[in-house]
Amino acid sequence: MTQPTMLLVHGAFANSFSFAPLQAELALHGVRSAAVDLPGHGFAATFPAGYQAPQDLAGFTSAPGSIRGVTLADNVAHLAEAAARAKQHGPVIVLAHSRGGAALTALANDRPDLIDHMVYVSAWAPVSLPAADYNAEEEMAAVDSAALARALAGDPGELGLLRCNFRQADPEVLAGLKDLFCADVSDDEFRVVINSLQPDENLDAGGADDRAQAETWGTIPRTFVRLGEDRSIPVGMQDRLIREGDALTPDNPYRVRTLDSSHLGWMIRPAEAAVTLAQIVAEVAAQSD
């Protein structure tokens, strides 16, 4: 049986480090995985000196960032290179979380030959709208968008990027972020997560041309893992994305799984998620022989 490789694509303000606990669990299930840092993430990220403690907010909010000017096309090119390398060793499963789904969708449009299966974990899979435009839809009305906005630092127009101060001590800001992203974990676990995030994210989440295309994206088998306690991308929006994808290619619908988790909880406590993902990997391996 040919062993697939699962490429893991992070969301906004995150990096490959976010997947370390999940990768440990996957390895114990015999799953080969590789977490990818998108351009400007991981060790290519900028952590301004003013971000350290005690913080120099003026310096932090004005310092240039390496992610300035990074586009969705840059992300796709980077993922394509990683997928091509993995493809040399067998089937490739690309898993995307959150904003990483926009990059996966664009990659599938551009290079469907590199992907044997797609897994969206509460991730953006835009069909009817550009990814960012879904935030204005009724399914997102209950999302506390101000929770992340209160953490924003600097002027995105001047910086050419989004910058957040995740190391501040304002209890209201921290409580809002915890409630939005991982209300189901302990305060200590939340602080570990918040300190693993990077302050900068790129501005380009894709446009109308980056929506899922039936003749490319729609030819690849896919799974959507719903997160039942997600307050960042609510279940109603996840279900809408599933419906839109199924309507685009009714002969190739999503396989749907559900985890009882917040937006980040499945990565912090990954045992259940690893079981689900290992099952998907086993199915892809069996189909490849």
Predicted pLDDT at 2: 85
The yes-or-no verdict on residue 130 having pLDDT over 80 is: yes
**Contact between 281 and 223 (Cβ < 8 Å):** no
Instruction: Quick: pLDDT tens for 30-43.
Output: 999 999 999 999 99
Could you report the per-residue pLDDT of 221-242, keeping only the tens digit for each?
999 999 999 999 999 999 999 9
Contact 122, 98 (CB under 8 A): yes
Q: Does the pLDDT value for residue 50 go beyond 80?
A: yes
Residue range 118-134: average pLDDT? Answer: 98
More confident residue, 2 or 243: 243
Residue 31 token pair: 């799953």
8 A C-beta contact, residue 164 and residue 151: yes
| Confidence at 288, pLDDT banded by 50, 70, 90 | confident
Q: How far apart are CA 9 and CA 19, in angstroms?
A: 9
pLDDT at 1 over 90: no
Confidence band for 84, pLDDT divided at 50, 70 and 90: very high
Q: Please write the tens of the pLDDT for every residue from 162-203.
A: 999 999 999 999 999 999 999 999 999 999 999 999 999 999
- pLDDT value, residue 282: 97
Question: Could you tell me if 115 and 83 are in contact, meaning their C-beta atoms sit under 8 angstroms apart?
Answer: yes
Q: What are the DSSP calls for the chain, one per residue?
A: -PPPEEEEE--TT--GGGGHHHHHHHHHTT-EEEEEPPTT-GGGS---GGGSSSP-HHHHHHS--TTTT--HHHHHHHHHHHHHHHHTTS-EEEEEEETHHHHHHHHHHH-GGG-SEEEEEEE---SSS-GGGGGGSGGGTTS-HHHHHTTB-S-HHHHTSEEB-TT---HHHHHHHHHHH-TTS-HHHHHHHHHHS-SEE-S----GGGS--TTTGGGS-EEEEEETT-SSS-HHHHHHHHHHHHHH-TTSPPEEEEES--TTHHHHS-HHHHHHHHHHHHHHHHHH-
Burial class (CB in 10 A: 0-12, 13-18, 19+), 147: buried
Q: How confident is the model at residue 17 (pLDDT cuts 50, 70, 90)?
A: very high
Region 111-119: mean pLDDT is: 98
Q: Within 13 Å, how many C-alpha atoms sit on residue 100's CB side? A: 30
